[in-house]
Amino acid sequence: MFDFSYRFQWAQAMRHLPRMLEGALVTLEIAILSLVVGIAIAVLLAVARDSKYIWLRAPATAWVEVARNTPALFQIYMAHFGLGSFGIYLSPYTALLAGIAFNNAGYLAETFRGALRAIPETQTRAGRSLGMGQAQTFRLIVMPQMFRVAFLPTTNQMVWAILMTSLGVTVGMATDLTGIVQNLNARTFRTFELFAIAAVLYYLIAKTVMLGAQLIAWRLFRY
Amino acid sequence: MKHTYVLAAALGLSLAAGAAQADKLDDIISSGVLRCAVTLDFPPMGSRDDNNAPIGFDVDYCNDLAEALGVRAEIVDTPFPDRIPALVSGRADIGVASTSDTLERAKTVGFSIPYFAFTNVVLTRDDTGIEAFEDLQGRNVGSVAGVFEALALEEQMDEWGGGTFRPYQSQADVFLALSQGQIEATVVTSTVASAIVESGNFPNLVIGSEAPFGIDYVGIIAMRQEYGLINYLNLFVNQQVRTGRYAELYEKWLGGATPPDLTVRGVYY
C-alpha cells in the first residue's frame, strides 16, 4: 500500500535539474561513443562470421555468442572488476563504454549479417565486373545497402545503449544521469521526485537520438 | 431509551473517528508485526549468518523494539539507497539502518534521537603509502554510494581537486575494488574497518588514521508525520541506554571499547 501522506516536493528536486542535465550529457556521450565503436566492430564481426577462414570465424562467433547471451550488467561488471583481477584497471567511464560497445557490437553484428544476406549476390558481381576490387565493392556497393536494410533494427540498439548506460552505477560511475541521481537521492532522500525526473530525461535523450538518427538516415539513404 | 440510541450513535461515531485517526504506531500494534528496514550489507550493524539469517546490531535493535511493542519483528533487507522507497511504499514501518541524521534528509523523512554514532577511518592497502587522511589528496578513492562518509569524502575530494571519487553499490564492491587496486583507499566507519580486517578475507588491507568528518550520529527513520511513532522511538532509544541494553549490544557486536556517547554537550536535541 502506498502511503499517500507522502507529499511530493517537486521544487526541491527541480533545484538539482542543472546537475541532472550535466549527467544527461555524459549519458548521451557514452551512448553515442558506444554506438560508433559498436557499429565499426560489428561490421568487421559480420564479415568475419561469413569468412571462409576459421581463424576469423571462430573469434567473431565467440564474441557474438558471449555478447548476446550474457547480461549487459555482467559484461560491464567484468570490464571493471573482471579485468581488475588481472591488474588491468579500466576507469568506471571506460569500463562502462567498453561493456556497452562490446554488447552493441555483438547484437549489431547479427543485424548486419542478416542485412548482408538481403543484398543480392548480383550486386557484388556487378561491382566486380565494373573493375572494382573486392574491398572497394564492399565499401561502395554492399555496405551502404547493408546500412539501409539494417537501419531500423539499429535504432533499436541505439535506444538500448542509452538505457544500458544506467548500469554504470554498478562499477562506480558517478557522472552519468543515474550516478548523479543516485547521489542526489542519498543527500536529499527525495527518491520519487528525482527518479521521475530522471525517467523523463532518459525518454527525452532516447527521442533526441532517434531524431538525430532519422536525420542522418534521411541524408544518407535517399536514392 | 432515546438516550441510549443517542449515546450509542455518539459512541459509534467516536469509534469510527478514532479508527480513521489511527496512526502508524496503532497500525503496528494491531497488525502484530513490526517491519524494520535493515541494511544487511553493513557488518557488524547488519549482515547475514551462515544460514542466511539476518544478524547484527541493527537486527537486535529491531527485535528489542518489537519485544517492547509486544509484536513480532520482521527484517526487510533494504540496501542504503532504497530506505525511503521502503518506508513510503509501506514495505517497512521503520528503518533501523544506520541512517545519518542530516538536515537535508530530515526535510523528507522523520528521525528519532541518535541510537548509535560512528567515527570514520581511512582503509587502504599495505602498498599505497597512505597513512594520514591528507594523503588521500589526488588519489583514486571510493566508498558506498550515498552513505555519510561517502558524501563527506566526495566533498573533500572536490575541494582538494584532482583524484577521483567512485561510489560503488555495496561495501563488498568497495573492498573488492580496493584489494584489486581499482581504488587506493576508502573511508569507512571504524566498526566496518575492524570487522573486515579481522575477517582475514582481504589480508592486504590496513587501517590508517581517523577521518576528520566529525561524529556520524545515526537515527531510526520513520515517515515524518508519524509523531506518535517517532515519540515512541525516542523513548525507546533512551530506555535502551538507561537499561544498559545499548552497552550490552555494543559489547556483543563491536566489543572492546566503551560505546559511543549519544549526547551532544551543551545543547538539547
- CATH number of the CATH domain containing B192: 3.40.190.10
Q: Which residues of B touch A2 (CB under 8 A)?
A: 88-90
Largest separation between any pair of C-alpha atoms in chain B: 90
Among B88, B125, B154, B226, the strongest candidate for a mutation testing the A interface, having the largest count of A CBs within 10 A, is: B88
Grade residue B101 by pLDDT with cuts at 50, 70 and 90: very high
Under 8 Å CB-to-CB from B156, ≥6 apart: which residues?
B136
Is residue A45 in some structural domain?
A: yes
Residues of B in contact with A6 (CB under 8 A): 88, 223
Give the pLDDT of residue A62. Answer: 96
Interface of A with B (CB under 8 A): 1-3, 5-6, 9, 12, 80-81, 84-85, 87, 89, 91-92, 169-174, 179, 182-183, 185-192
Residue B60 domain-assigned? yes
Domain that holds residue A146: 19-220
Q: Is residue A4 part of a domain?
A: no
- Are B61 and B128 found together in one domain? no
How far apart, in Å, are the Cα atoms of B49 and each of A194, B46, B55, B106, B211?
35, 10, 6, 32, 30
Secondary structure percentages of chain A, helix, strand, coil, to 5: 80, 0, 20
Domain count for chain B, please give it: 2
Q: Beta B120-125 vs B164-168: how paired, if at all? A: unpaired
pTM: 0.82
- Cβ within 8 Å, pair A2-B83: no
The answer to whether residue A8 sits within a structural domain is no
Q: Out of B210, B230, B263, pick the residue that ends a domain.
A: B210
Residues of B whose CB is below 8 A from A179: 167
Three-state DSSP state, B124: strand
- The CATH number of the domain where A207 resides is what? 1.10.3720.10
Do residues B41 and B147 lie in contact, with contact meaning Cβ atoms separated by under 8 Å? no
Both B192 and B229 in one domain: the answer is: no
- Report chain A residues whose CB lies below 8 A from the CB of B109: 189
Asked, for residue B262, whether it belongs to a domain, the answer is no
Domain assignment of residue B4, yes or no: no
Q: Are B25 and B232 in contact (CB under 8 A)?
A: yes
B198 and B90 together in one domain: no
For range B197-221, the mean pLDDT: 89
In a domain, A9, yes or no: no
* DSSP label of B52: S
CB A89 within 8 A of CB A128: no
For residue A87, which residues of chain B lie inside 8 Å, CB to CB?
A: 181
Q: Is residue B154 part of a domain?
A: yes
Q: Which residue does chain A place closest to B166, by CA atoms? A: A172
Is A100 inside a domain boundary? yes
Q: What is the pLDDT of residue B185?
A: 94
**pLDDT (average), residues A192-204:** 94
On whether residue B264 sits in a domain, the answer given is: no
pLDDT tens track for B51-84: 999 999 999 999 999 999 999 999 999 988 888 8
Q: Chain A residues with CB inside 8 Å of B95's CB?
A: none
Q: Are residues B107 and B45 in the same domain?
A: yes
Tally of domains within chain A: 1
Do B109 and B35 have their domain in common? yes
B221 in Cβ contact with B111 (< 8 Å): yes
Amino acid identity at A195: F
Residue B6 located in a structural domain: no
> Both B67 and B111 in a single domain?
yes
In B21-131, which residue ranges form alpha helices assigned H by DSSP?
24-31, 57-69, 83-88, 103-106
Contact A191 B147 (CB under 8 A): no
CB-count exposure of residue B145 (10 Å: 0-12, 13-18, 19+): buried
Band of residue B239 on the pLDDT scale cut at 50, 70, 90: very high
Domain interval for residue B41: 23-117+217-253
A3·B90 Cβ contact <8 A: yes
Residues B141 and B167 in one domain: yes
Pairing mode of beta strands B216-222, B110-111 = antiparallel
pLDDT confidence bin for A189, thresholds 50/70/90: confident
φ, ψ dihedrals at A118, nearest 5°: -80, -10
- pLDDT score recorded for residue B18: 46
Among A139, A141, A140, A149, smallest CA distance to A113 is for A149
B205 and B189 belong to one structural domain: yes
Note whether B199 and B246 are same-domain residues.
Answer: no
Partners of B142 in beta bridges: B166, B186
Q: Are residues B76 and B89 in the same domain?
A: yes
Q: Which residues of B are less than 8 Å from A12 in CB distance?
A: 107
pLDDT in tens, B145-191: 888 899 899 999 999 988 899 999 888 899 999 999 999 999 998 88
Nearest alpha carbon to residue A179 among B137, B83, B146: B146
For residues B139 and B87, membership in a common domain is answered with no
For residue B104, give the nearest of A3, A81, A188 by CB distance.
A188
Q: Do A189 and B166 make contact, defined as CB atoms within 8 angstroms? A: no
Q: Do B164 and A91 touch (CB under 8 A)?
A: yes
pLDDT in tens, A131-182: 999 899 999 999 999 999 999 899 999 999 999 999 999 999 999 999 999 9
Same domain, B42 and B74: yes
Alpha carbon of B177: minimum distance to chain A alpha carbons (Å): 7
ipTM over 0.90: no
